A and B are shown apart, each in its own frame.
Chain A
């Protein structure tokens, strides 16, 4: 059984995001880029399945400009068997990514696709659902626990939903998107970094996969959230009540 994992290169989550002065986007130059944390979790889950003998191969897929190869190498150093890089310099929206993944599925024929529930840069949370829809596969999103039954070709997924945990059972092939509590991703050790250097990476372009990168969305403006105003010290209870009544108008 083969597992396909999608990984995205994003601004490192510990970096303070700065908006470009012309409001066209955020500053990415000279900024630390890393693998989307949810993608790391997705990859870790796939690697654990392979290590416990439930899967035979883990293929990591990334999309974007050539710098994404660094992220892909990280994925290979974590333990993915091989990589696929879909080279594109234009902006990819969730639907593009989903269509590319769909077409890669026709080539790779995986039984399971694992993705992060969302990327921390655009917070879209759409790709996994779209892939499942396009492929007409069952989906288990926001997974906090995944149990794979190889014999029955079934996967049981605990989903983190607003009112608790929902458990769903999916027939393979299926799509899973991972939530934060699913696992703790491993580190890339030196021997594995060394091994990763010789792992194969296949390269595609969106055109080769018959996906036209054309968007119906236009980014009008990117702005920072309004700054919180500084607090004031009140000198008496009366003043506090007065401010709550007349200024904040909450009592």
Chain B
């Protein structure tokens, strides 16, 4: 007890506290879930058709048998999408498997049921495919050979990274061959002068972050899923995350890409240049196209230096307009040191406090309507803190903030972040949840939450939070269990509303399988037509990540 290394002990205690919310939280799910899944699958797959349901079979309150039936009846509701297996795709045979074994060696051709279950299921357990084959290439050439063969044989392929996507983009829908990039996890080079990192697509984000940390740099991208997600998947999804406000999107930070096209052609665009105006900048086609145009195998990324002074404040605002004014002020007064501006409403806050272990209200004296988390990152601790304090005290005098707390150490800063980052987990624990990731002009953003609240009345808990600084709202509707009536109240209203206000129905999660057919809410038919012709040009047999991103109607 006495005199042990307390730094280590404290760190351990924090770790234990955090184990309440691992990501992906597969390990913590109740044991009955797997049985539920099997039941669900039996109910869901009808021969060559598949009814894709957007319901997380999480709901701990539901009993297995009833639940399977429930899902099935619900599947025919408005939220389900009828997807048909493309008959043009061949079915996998033994000869194919032998061919892949020839390329990769038997060890990297996986047919083991248990491993396939993981590859077939997304982390929220919303989507499940029935792939019989998982390939783990180790080099770009192997990826190229795999694709060349699949294209020749017309075998559908799903590229897979850390499988942490939220829209069902990274798991097979039917029997697509899963090509996992996990084994391609080498850091190829890092230039300390320019801060340019070149690495393989399968590098786990957190590993890159810790590698860069030891070099004195950071990733321009940070996500809740960093412990599992891979950089190739991040790039393919054009993941946003918590630092976008400061460092911009991956379209700006990714300097080069190596990608393999459906026919096996390797496109080497792995430049490490800030400026390169030579022809069409094709790498952008692979950023955010969710693996539907090619498999990203390597990336080069511009990384900013790690700055020593990080400050986090957790603030309370009385209404949404104060949050907006605060954002405007923060941009002006914190300027170059502002690195995150996140918000959550009181419903989100209550949810986290009630459902997340270790969550603690920094402002417990009264309940506020809105909470804002501001992070600053700079190079001078004392001047940064002074600047932030002056800004906060000024905002308090102007009544933009009604209360607030300033983290005094890293531990407090992480506990503030937990309140914001823990919302998705708290929602999963609260029961059923309908998730929407929307870009909406900041001034109108919260109107949607309010309208949704009045639409649904007391039937559901409508929660609004997100990256206010980026105009990105996470609208989540939490209910004790899934209910078709509620869903029909939400959709298509939420998409129509977003479209009417010139927003995007997918800010940072992508379209995947969930929203492939909803693309027209955000993109004009002409635009989608051009996208389709690009798809046809690069992947004429449509073997890459089929049924996703683009609507089925436009592809066939």
Please give the residue numbers on chain A whose beta carbons come within 8 Å of chain B beta carbons, in ascending order: 12-15, 17, 30-32, 34-35, 37-38, 70, 74, 77-78, 118, 120-121, 123, 125, 142, 160-162, 179-180, 184, 187-191, 193-194
Contact = CB atoms under 8 A, between A and B. Distances in A.
Contacts of A162: 1-2
A190 B401 contact: yes
Contact of A190 (B9, B405, B411): B405
Interface string B302-322: 000000111001110000000
A189 B403 contact: yes
Given A14-B11, A14-B414, A37-B411, 8 more contacts: A30-B308, A37-B6, A70-B385, A161-B1, A180-B10, A180-B13, A190-B401, A194-B393
B109 interface: no
B406 interface: yes
Contacts of B412: 187
A13 B389 contact: no
B411 A14 contact: yes
A196 B91 CA distance: 72
A120 B6 contact: yes
Interface in B99-124: none
| Closest 3 pairs (CB-CB, A-B) | A34-B409, A14-B410, A187-B405
B6 A118 contact: yes
B404 interface: yes
A187 B362 contact: yes
Contact of B7 (A35, A120, A189): A120
15 contacts: A31-B308, A32-B381, A34-B409, A34-B411, A35-B408, A37-B6, A77-B408, A78-B408, A123-B3, A123-B5, A162-B2, A189-B405, A190-B315, A190-B392, A191-B403
B363 interface: yes
Contacts of A193: 389, 392-393, 406
Contact of B2 (A37, A142, A191): A142
A191 B408 CA distance: 15
A121 B408 CA distance: 17
B533 to A, nearest CB: 49
B248 to A, nearest CB: 25
A66 to B, nearest CB: 11
A31 B381 CA distance: 9
Contacts of B392: 190, 193
A13 B9 CA distance: 10
A35 B403 CA distance: 23
Nearest to B310: A32
A143 B385 CA distance: 34
Interface in B1-49: 1-7, 9-11, 13-14
A58 to B, nearest CB: 17
A123 B410 contact: no
Contact of B410 (A32, A160, A184, A189): A32
Q: Which of B7, B403, B405, B407 has the most CB of A within 10 A?
A: B7
B396 interface: yes
B524 interface: no
A105 B396 CA distance: 38
B411 A13 contact: yes
B381 to A, nearest CB: 8
Contacts of A15: 410
Nearest to B309: A32
Nearest to A126: B3
Contact of A120 (B10, B310, B408): B10
A160 B405 contact: no
Contacts of B406: 187-190, 193
A161 B3 CA distance: 11
Contacts of B411: 12-14, 34, 37
Given A14-B414, A180-B13, A35 B5 contact: no
Nearest to B213: A16
A18 B392 CA distance: 33
Interface string B513-552: 0000000000000000000000000000000000000000
Given A190-B401, A190-B403, A125 B410 contact: no
B382 interface: yes
